[in-house]
Amino acid sequence: MSQGLNVSILGGGSAYTPGLIHGFINRSQDVPLSRLVLMDIDESKLDTVGYVVRHMLQDAMPQCKLELTTDRDQAIRNMDFIICQIRVGGLQSRHIDESIPIKHGVIGQETTGPGGFAMALRTIPVMVEIAAEIQEKNPRAWLINYTNPSGLVAEAITKTSEIRHISICDEPMVLQESLGAFLNVPPEQLFFDYFGLNHLAWARRVYLQGVDILPQLRDTLEHTPLDKIEGLFGEEVLRDRKVRTELRNTLRIFKETGMLPSPYLQYYWFTDEILEQQIRSGRTRAQEVIQMEQEILAEYRKVAAGERPFETLRGGEWHADMMVGMLGAIANDTREVFIVNTPNHGALPELPFNKIVEVPALVDARGAHPLAMGKMPVEVRGLIQAVAAYEELTVEAVLNGCYDTALTALSCHPLVPSRKVAKNILDDYIAAHGESLAYLK
């Protein structure tokens, strides 16, 4: 790769972008960039973030040409990789997604439950459009999708398009990196025997040098105070209450079951206490994130204005490691193992053959080759199959623009207590989201 890659980022005005660029800079030896296009519909954020990125590239990757644009066409043509991290409707829409279920006594969460359902209804049409545009204008490009709900988006793209595409989520990598940090071993030395759906997956066993370390980890945790455990995950964990709770809940589940779940399992496992906390708090996660984003952007602006030194910026590293690593594995054909969202093809024989599943895969220039993970433990099989059916119906509802199928889909979600509640939530979403859900007939 003498020349460097042409890479674009859809949703490039995100506060996470500098973190991602940091990742490219760290690996500029094996994943060099010759052209970087940041595309966003929010010009103000694009300018702020663009300034920071330009500054970052100046010293570290001077040969890389930076372009800022609001024109998607420019971010699609001639690209080798199109990274998509858009958030359709922005964080305001997320707030709607999260707040409505709570009114109906149901968990309000970005990707799990009704919130993820609404996000899918809003996001899939746009993603399907982007995939079609790539197929038309630049069919040899790779779309690396990071936009949530990742599994549902991947399913819709796979059903409607022939483009080269992998959908990822940094959560499994967060798990791997956290565990590596905790065990004080390089995370890439851990092999995850991992299976499920995006945000509903488990590490059944984790091998280090061929030995499953989970039993011993479970023993250790029995005798370790939670504070000490948290400390090992670093400052960031301690600062953000949501992340800290997530960690605590995940460890509680692990202690009981011996398997290491996705942190999102907490919403199924501790449904009542989390719901109670959400009702009590009176504030959605979206609102917290809006504030966090504003703080970060404000800091960016200070840096841009020369009021603060550049070096203070940080964050989004795991996201970057996963994204740049994956991109490098494709570009350099290096056959590395990543946990990705990919068509099943027998990897999990108890789920439909063409369902998108989240499993370890070998990634190379050809894309993702999933590993055959065999049968799932019966204690999680039913939940996974139930959510798989919900997902299948949700994608069908969007692609057919069908209200009844959407209602059926939401009724099928394990966190929704009844058809009536499903209808109330769906109708409230349609009223609140306006134009973006008007396609449901």
Binding site for a second copy (CB under 8 A): 189, 191, 207, 209-211, 253, 256-257, 268-273, 330, 333, 335, 337, 344-349, 353, 360, 362, 364-367, 369-375, 378-379, 381-383, 385-390, 392-393, 396, 408, 411-412, 414, 417-421
Angle at CA 392, nearest 5°, toward 389 and 396? 140
309 touches 119 (CB < 8 A): no
Comparing CB distances to a second copy, the nearer of 236 and 404 is 404
| Residue 264 among the catalytic residues | yes
Comparing CB distances to a second copy, the nearer of 246 and 299 is 246
Looking at the DSSP bridge assignments, the partners of residue 69 are: 39
Q: Minimal distance in Å, beta carbon 202 to a second copy? A: 13
Angle at CA 392, nearest 5°, toward 389 and 393? 90
Comparing CB distances to a second copy, the nearer of 136 and 333 is 333
Cβ neighbours of 231 (radius 10 Å): 12
Closest CA to 234 of 225, 222, 247, 216: 247
> Is the bond preceding residue 149 a cis peptide, omega within 30 degrees?
yes
Comparing CB distances to a second copy, the nearer of 303 and 384 is 384
Comparing CB distances to a second copy, the nearer of 39 and 274 is 274
Comparing CB distances to a second copy, the nearer of 90 and 417 is 417
Comparing CB distances to a second copy, the nearer of 40 and 80 is 80
For residue 65, the surrounding DSSP H or E stretch is strand 65-69
Comparing CB distances to a second copy, the nearer of 353 and 439 is 353
426 touches 406 (CB < 8 A): yes
Indicate which residue of 146, 194, 264, 429 is catalytic: 264
Query: Among all chains, which residue has been given the structure tokens 């479970």?
Result: 218
What are the C-alpha distances in Å from 253 to residues 53, 268, 293, 326?
40, 11, 31, 30
Query: Among all chains, which residue has been given the structure tokens 């001077």?
Result: 62
Angle at CA 91, nearest 5°, toward 97 and 201? 60
Q: Minimal distance in Å, beta carbon 132 to a second copy? A: 22
Comparing CB distances to a second copy, the nearer of 185 and 292 is 185
| Dihedral sign from CA coordinates of 179, 183, 185, 190 | negative
Cβ neighbours of 346 (radius 10 Å): 12
What are the C-alpha distances in Å from 67 to residues 5, 53, 74, 239, 285?
14, 10, 9, 35, 32
Start-to-end Cα distance in the chain:
49
Reduced to 3 states (helix: H, G, I; strand: E, B; else coil), residue 311 is: helix
Q: Which string of DSSP letters, residue by residue, matches 146-169?
A: --SSHHHHHHHHHHH---EEEE--
Instruction: Show the tokens assigned to 268.
Output: 């199924």
Q: Angle at which helices 90-103 and 285-304 pack, to 10 degrees?
A: 160
Instruction: State which amino acid sits at residue 328.
Output: G
Reduced to 3 states (helix: H, G, I; strand: E, B; else coil), residue 240 is: coil
Q: Minimal distance in Å, beta carbon 429 to a second copy? A: 19
Collect all residues with Cβ–Cβ distance below 8 Å to 216 and sequence separation of at least 6.
none
Active site residues: 264
